[in-house]
Structure 1
C-alpha cells in the first residue's frame, strides 16, 4: 500500500482552534465575574446590619437640667460648674432711706415746661382758597360751507353728460351772439326747428349713440347746442313731443339741423 504523507493542519483547522480557545477564555472570564458579583451581594446585607444603630426599647427618662438658684449665674456650657454660693439676705440692696421726721425731702427736678403754640396774630385775615380756574369759552364752530345752488335749467352754461360737454341756448339774440363767439371751442353743433318756416324748438330730449350704446343724454334748453365730444361718428336721436328724429353726425360737423 502506498504510504500517506504525514497529516498537516490546514488553515481552516487553525482558525477553528483559535475560535475555540477564545470561547474558553470568555467562559472563564464570565465565571469569574459571576463569582465576584455573588460575593458582593453576600457582603451588602452584612454591612447594612453592622451600620444600623441599636435602639433601646425602654429609654431612660431625661434628667431635667438643674435650675440655678436665685442670685446665681447660669453655668457656661463646657466649663466646670463651681459649687453654687447663695447670697445672704443681709447682702441684698438696702431699701430706699426714708427722711427723718422734721426734715423736708429734697425737691425733685420738675419737668421742663412745654412750649405752647403762639396764637396767630389777630390782624391777619384767614387764608381764602383760590377760585377754580374758569373753563375757556367754547369757540364757535365755523359755519358750514354751503355749495352754491345749481344754475337754473334754462341758464346758458356749459354742462357735462358723460364724456360730452355741451351748452344750449339761442332763443334770444344775445344768446345767439354768445354761442357764435364760443363755437370755436366745440367740435359739433345741432339745430332744432319745426315747420316750413324753421321755428326754433327747445326742451328736446337728445341722446348720442355710438356702436349701439348710449354715450350721452341731455335735454336741450334752446334750439342750438354746441357739443365737445371724442372724435368719431355718432347717431343722434332727438325726441320732441313724442316724435323722434335720427341723424348721423361726426365731429367737426357744424349746424346739423333736425326738423319736425
Structure 2
C-alpha cells in the first residue's frame, strides 16, 4: 500500500483564510467602486446645472477692447461662434461688466443746499402781517316809504285825476275844511233824514261822458274836490242805496240826502 502523507491542518487553514481574505477585499473594492459610481452619477446633473451659463434675454453687447495702432482684428480661420443657449426660467443675475471694462458710474444726487445758520446776535425774522381786509363800506339806508295815513285821517288823497279831502264829523274838522275850501273847485255833502244827519263811509264815483273819472270812499260827510273843469255825474252809495246827482266845477255844498 502507498504511504499516505501526514495531514497538515495548519497549512490548509492558512490557504483558506488567504482565499477568504482575498475575496473579501475584492468584494469591498467592488462595493466601493459601485458606491463611487452612484455618487458620481448623482453629482454630475447638479454640477451641470450649476455650471450652465445663464444668458440674458436682452444681452447688452460689450464694447470691443481698443486695438493696438496699426493692427486689425480678424476672425480665426475655422472658428465658429458658439450658439446661444436657450433662455432659462431661472432669475437673471445682474449684468456684470466685461473683464477689463469699468462699469459706468451712477450719477450722484445733487447736493442739497443746507440753510445757512443765522448770525449770532441777529434778531429773528418777523413774519409779515397778513394783508388787512378793506373795511366794509356802510350801506346806504334803505328808503322806506312812509306808511299811508289812517283811513279816517283828514288828509288830501288822489283818485285818478281828482284830488280830494273828506271829513267834518267833529267841529274842528269842519273849521279846517272851511279854511281850505278856497283851494278846491267842488264840494259834496252827504246827509240822511229830515234833520240832515251827517253820513260817512259813502262810496263815491265820478263819471263824465260815460267814463269813470274817480272812485273813492268818503270818510266824512263833507268832501272837497279839485277836478278838471267840467260837469260830472256823481253816483254815491250808502248801505246799498244809491243816489245820483249832476254837479259842475265851481258849485259848493252840493248836498246828497238819503
Quickly name the TM-score band, shorter chain normalised: 0.5 to 0.7
What residue in structure 2 maps to residue 245 of structure 1?
A: 243
Change (3 A) 1:187 1:125: same
Task: Call closer, same or farther: CA 1:136–1:119 in 2, change over 3 Å.
Answer: closer
- 3-state DSSP of counterpart to 2:253: strand
From the superposition, tell whether residues 220 and 124 of structure 1 become closer, same or farther in structure 2 (CA, over 3 Å). Answer: same
Match of 1:229 among 227, 230, 255: 227
Aligned to 2:56: none
Partner of residue 255, structure 1? 253
Aligned counterpart, 1:103: none
User: What is the rounded CA distance, in whole Å, between the counterparts of 1:181 and 1:152 in structure 2?
Assistant: 22
Aligned position for 2:99: none
Gaps of at least 5 residues in structure 1 are 1-69, 71-117
1:177-192 map, 5 Å:
177-192=175-190
Shift of 1:136: 2.6
Name the CA distance, whole Å, in 1 between partners of 2:118 and 2:149. Answer: 82
1:183-238 CA-to-partner distances (Å, cap 9, x unmatched) read: 00000000000000000000000000100111100000000000010000000000
Q: Deviations over 1:137-192 (max 9, x none)?
A: 32342332221110000000000001100000000000000000000000000000
5+ long unaligned stretches in structure 2? 1-69, 71-115
Query: For the residues of structure 1 that align with 2:250 and 2:118, how far apart are their CA atoms?
Result: 104
When structure 1 is superposed on structure 2, of 122-131 and 156-165 the one drifting more is 122-131
TM-score, normalised on structure 2?
A: 0.53
227-236 vs 129-138, greater mean Cα deviation:
129-138
Corresponding residue for residue 152 of structure 1: 150
1:121 counterpart = 2:112: no
C-alpha RMSD of matched pairs (Å): 1.6
Deviation at 1:125, TM superposition (A): 2.2
Partners of 1:256 and 1:205 lie apart in 2 by 16
1:83-162 alignment runs, 5 A limit: 121-162=119-160
What's the counterpart of residue 201 of structure 2?
203
Q: Distance in 2 between matches of 1:119 and 1:250?
A: 105
- Distance in 2 (CA, whole Å) between partners of 1:244 and 1:204 is 10
Per the normalisation by structure 1, the TM-score is 0.53
Aligned mates of 1:256, 1:151 — CA distance in 2: 27
Secondary structure class of the residue paired with 1:253: coil
Selected match of 1:167 from 162, 165, 171: 165
Tell me the secondary structure at the aligned position of residue 175 of structure 1.
helix
